[in-house]
Structure formats: C-alpha cells, structure tokens
C-alpha cells in the first residue's frame, strides 16, 4: 500500500501538479478496463458472429472516415472552448454508446448485430473525433513538459496492469458463460470502466501558466494586432499553412507509421480465429502477456528518453513493431502466439509512451488544436485506408504474406522517423 501511494503521490512532484497527475492515472486505469474487455474483444465478437474481413475492416474504417470529415471542424470547435470541459462532455457522449453494445443480441440476429455494432460505432465516432483532438491538447496543457515522459510512462504502467487483469478475466468469463450472454456481460463491464474514466477527466484542469500562455498569444482587446486578420476562406479554415511548416515532416513520417500499423490490425483477429484457432481464453492470455511487457518496458521509458529523445524512442520502437506481424505470420501454435505477444508489448511500450510527447514537441503551444487536428486527419486517413486495404491485400496475396508485408512497411516507417522526423 505504501508503494502504491508513492506511485500515485510522488513527493518529488510539485503540489500544484499532483491532482492532475493522479486523475490522469485513474482515468487511464478505468479506460484500461474498457479496453481490456469491450474494445479488446470487439473484433473477436464480430468474427465469432461470422463477420467477413471487409466487415471487420469496416469497424475500424468508419470511425476513421467520420474523423477525417470532422477533425478540422473539431479543432475550431475546441479552440473556442475550455479544453477540459470539451474533453469531459465529448467523452460522456462517446462512452454512452458502449452501453448500447449490451443490447445488440436482444434486438438483432447475427448479421444484424454486426451491422448494428457498425452503426453504433459510427455514431460514437462523432464525439470521439473531438475527444481525440481535445485529449492531446488537455494533456499538453495539464502536464508540464519536464514531467510528460514520467506521466506517460506511469499511465502506461497503470494501463498495462489493469488491462492484463481485464483481459484475463474477460477471456476466462467468455469461456464460462454461454454465447452471446458472455459478451453482453463483458460489454457492460467495459461501459462501467468508460463511465468512471470520464469522471476522472472531469477533474483534470489546465495549468494556470498554460491558460495564460494561450491568452498571451492573442492581442488584448483594444490593442493593435501585429498581423492583419485574414479574410475567412476555405484555405484559412483548413489551415493549409501548417503544411508549409516543419511540422509537415512529422505528419508525413507518422502517416507512414500509422498506415503500416492499420494495414495489419484487421488481419489479426482473422488470423487468431481462422488460422491459429485460438479460443477467447487464449486471446485473453496473449493480450495479458502483451501488456505485462508493456508494463516492464514502461518502467524504463523515462531513462531511455533522457538518454536519447522521444523521437529516437518512437523510431526504434516502430522498427521493433515490425517484428510482431512478421513473427505472427509464421506462428502455428498457441505458445508461439504468446511469445510474439511478449515481444509486441515490449516494443509498444516504447512507441505508446514516447509518440505523443514526440508529437507535442513538434506543435507550437499557442496553436495546438489546429496542429493536432491535422494529425488526427492523418491518423484517421491511415486507419480508413488500412482497415479497408488490409483485408483486400490478404485476399489477394494470402493473410500470412500480407502480415509479412505490413511488418516490412513498419520497419521502413521507423527508419523514416529516425532519419527525417
């Protein structure tokens, strides 16, 4: 208990930062319950219902398409509001959708449930777009630069511990209860985690210096501006000027990474169920092993960042991520899947802990929503393209070769981050 208290209440952290840090840790802990239950088994549930590769890809593609259309408007909407209020209310609206997942088996047949789930995810994607842009801005404004690596690493640790328990517990419960009631129970547990995560988001506040800095970026009322206000136009609304800044290189290398990442994601559940013949319990154990090594790797994240940089840790982590789909493609037994999961978690600890800080370092503090909106567009363009093209590629060349190709592309993306990012 004393060790746990020291983890959450580090005496070295200035008193004015502690409340935000604690709520960030508790937020990710409850979110991990959602991720380890509902989100972890979403695609597996669809596969058990008989969903095709296209339908599973569509579950990832639809939120990406919605975000592509709404990311820029979301950035404008957030810029006019207090970021912590916006993040809280968008999280509430988005996460209420998880409760609807529970009722699908009572309303639809198997194909109806697949399309019903797709429709709910479509509706959830609208508030999720603003939440995704806003949370990154909230993190940047609520955590000082010098503490971001530490907070990100501890969030990864909390995520890993809770996710492991949720994944193992969900996998065991899915084996004990009859289908589809077992998934209804898991989805309800996920909704409870989502609701509690939103509660802690409510208590996170931007630091006073972050808010005053944002205020200083605009001229005082009645004072002359150094710049002539541009006329409203499509070009100004889209903020195409961002692509003329050095940030465009960051966007391009992250585009390469996310495209290679999302090409493989819809292939994993199909390979697990159809090729490896894994049970829900096997998948739960593999996911728990993955997050066990995320936990172990996260304990070393701050030291790695201090010795190198967020960019270097991100780049080498992406190169390491190339091994997961390649090794998985040659796996034929459960223990090989477990070994690949252990390796995957170790490298994801690097990417998951460093990538956000690498991105935030490249954004000007006074204009984060607009820059992060463009990143959200790039991320979701990759999610859309990857979710649709991954299954097509697997159909054309075979799922094993498709996994190898995505692994090679990840390696090139990591090298690009190191060289040009």
Q: Mean pLDDT over all residues of the chain?
A: 84
Q: Which two tokens stand for residue 363?
A: 């954004």
Contact present, 136 and 372 (Cβ < 8 Å): yes
Q: Which two tokens stand for residue 402?
A: 């498709």
Residue 216 pLDDT > 60: no
CATH class label, 16-214+242-420: mainly alpha
Give how far Cα 1 sits from Cα of 6, 9, 197, Å: 9, 12, 22
Q: Which residues of 44-66 are buried (b: 16+ CB within 10 A; e: fewer)?
A: bbbbbbebebebbbbbbbbbbbb
The string of pLDDT tens digits covering residues 7-33 is: 566 666 666 778 888 899 999 999 999
pLDDT: which is higher, 163 or 409: 409
Give residue 91's pLDDT band: very low, low, confident or very high (50, 70, 90).
very high
Contact present, 92 and 198 (Cβ < 8 Å): yes
Percent above pLDDT 90 for the chain: 38
Give how far Cα 332 sits from Cα of 48, 274, 317, Å: 20, 11, 25
pLDDT at 215: 43
pLDDT: which is higher, 221 or 14: 14
**Residue 233: exposure state from Cβ atoms within 10 A (0-12, 13-18, ≥19):** exposed
For 160, half-sphere exposure in the C-beta direction (CA atoms, 13 angstrom radius) is 25
Give residue 400's pLDDT band: very low, low, confident or very high (50, 70, 90).
very high
* Rounded CA separation 362/82 (Å): 22
pLDDT at 5: 60
pLDDT: which is higher, 189 or 301: 189
pLDDT at 6: 62
- Mean pLDDT, rounded, for 181-185: 92
Least confident segment among 1-10, 83-92, 260-269, 363-372: 1-10
pLDDT at 103: 94
Residue 235 pLDDT > 80: no
Percent above pLDDT 70 for the chain: 89
pLDDT at 232: 43
Q: How many helices (H) and strands (E) does the chain have?
A: 20, 0
- Mean pLDDT, rounded, for 211-222: 41
The string of pLDDT tens digits covering residues 304-351 is: 888 999 999 999 999 999 999 999 999 989 999 999 999 999 999 899
pLDDT at 231: 43
Contacts 24+ apart (CB under 8 A), 86-90: 86/130, 86/134, 87/131, 87/134, 87/135, 87/138, 87/201, 87/204, 88/198, 88/201, 88/202, 90/127, 90/128, 90/130, 90/131, 90/134
Residue ranges of domains in the chain: 16-214+242-420
Contact present, 328 and 402 (Cβ < 8 Å): no
Least confident segment among 97-106, 208-217, 269-278, 288-297: 208-217
pLDDT at 221: 33
């Amino acid at each position: 208990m004393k060790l746990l208290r020291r983890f959450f209440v580090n005496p070295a952290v200035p008193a004015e930062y502690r409340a935000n840090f604690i709520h960030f840790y508790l937020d990710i802990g409850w979110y991990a319950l959602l991720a380890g239950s509902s989100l972890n088994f979403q695609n597996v549930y669809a596969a058990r219902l008989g969903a095709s590769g296209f339908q599973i890809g569509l579950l990832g593609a639809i939120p990406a398409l919605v975000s592509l259309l709404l990311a820029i408007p979301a950035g404008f909407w957030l810029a006019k509001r207090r970021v912590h209020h916006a993040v809280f209310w968008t999280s509430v609206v988005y996460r209420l959708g998880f409760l609807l997942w529970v009722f699908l088996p009572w309303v639809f047949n198997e194909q109806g449930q697949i399309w019903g789930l797709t429709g709910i995810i479509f509706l959830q994607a609208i508030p999720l777009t603003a939440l995704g842009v806003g949370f990154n801005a909230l993190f940047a404004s609520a955590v000082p630069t010098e503490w971001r690596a530490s907070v990100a690493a501890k969030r990864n640790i909390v995520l890993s511990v809770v996710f492991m328990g949720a994944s193992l517990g969900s996998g065991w419960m899915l084996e004990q209860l009859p289908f589809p009631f077992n998934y209804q129970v898991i989805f309800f547990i996920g909704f409870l985690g989502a609701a509690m995560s939103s509660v802690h988001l409510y208590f996170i506040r931007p630091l006073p210096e972050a808010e005053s800095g944002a205020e200083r970026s605009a001229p005082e009322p009645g004072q002359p501006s150094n710049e002539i206000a541009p006329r409203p136009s499509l070009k100004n609304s889209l903020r195409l000027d961002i692509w003329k800044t050095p940030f465009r290189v960051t966007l391009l290398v992250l585009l390469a990474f996310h495209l290679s990442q999302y090409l493989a994601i819809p292939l994993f559940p199909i390979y697990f169920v159809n090729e490896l013949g894994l049970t829900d319990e096997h998948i739960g154990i593999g996911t728990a092993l993955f997050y066990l090594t995320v936990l172990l790797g996260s304990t070393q994240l701050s030291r790695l960042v201090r010795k190198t940089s967020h960019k270097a840790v991100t780049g080498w982590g992406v190169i390491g991520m190339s091994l997961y789909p390649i090794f998985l493609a040659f796996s034929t037994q459960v223990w090989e899947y477990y070994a690949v999961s252990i390796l995957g978690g170790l490298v994801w600890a690097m990417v998951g802990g460093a990538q956000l800080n690498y991105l935030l370092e490249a954004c000007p503090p006074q204009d984060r929503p607009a820059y992060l909106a463009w990143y959200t567009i790039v991320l979701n363009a990759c999610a859309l393209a990857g979710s649709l093209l991954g299954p097509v590629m697997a159909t054309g060349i075979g799922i094993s070769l498709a996994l190898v190709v995505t692994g090679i592309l990840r390696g090139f993306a990591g090298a690009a981050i190191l060289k040009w990012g």
